[in-house]
Amino acid sequence: MAIPAAAGVLVVLLAWLAGPGLLGIDNGVLGAPVQAEVTNPAPCGQADAKETVKFTVAGKAHEGTLDGCGHGRGERVEVAVPEAVPDQGAVAVTLADTSMGASDGRRPLGMALLVFACFSGGMFVYRWLSIPLRPRPGTAS
């Protein structure tokens, strides 16, 4: 009983130390959120649609490309701008609400499900090993 329990505790501890990426949750922030204005919208009917947006960082106007579609010309969107913005050329930006990481209950729920899975596996092994061996019928003892 102690070995399956210790293995379950070890798995949960290693999963916790591995971080949120193990459970498919990325807490990494891809940049600072900035208000941007769509200057060249893209229709959603084409594959790999990219829109052009303009935004201001540190008092300087920049242009960026946004992987997305369906926004209107002049529509304001919040985008995540990388920390290092080049002085010239278009900057690749993403929508801020899709890249700011997980601040909801997905990681605790994932950890709770992992703990339950470890407990269930340990109990299965315990029950399997506690079944008494019975001689097969027709064999002499």
Q: Which residues pair with 40 in a beta bridge?
A: 52
Give me 42's structure tokens.
Answer: 């893209």
Give me 77's structure tokens.
Answer: 């969107």
Residue 89 CB contacts under 8 Å (≥ 6 apart), including other chains: none
Torsion, CA 53, CA 58, CA 60, CA 64, rounded to 10: -20
Q: Does the pLDDT at position 1 exceed 80?
A: no
pLDDT digits (tens, 9 = 90+) for 25-46: 555 556 778 888 999 888 888 7
pTM for the full predicted model: 0.49
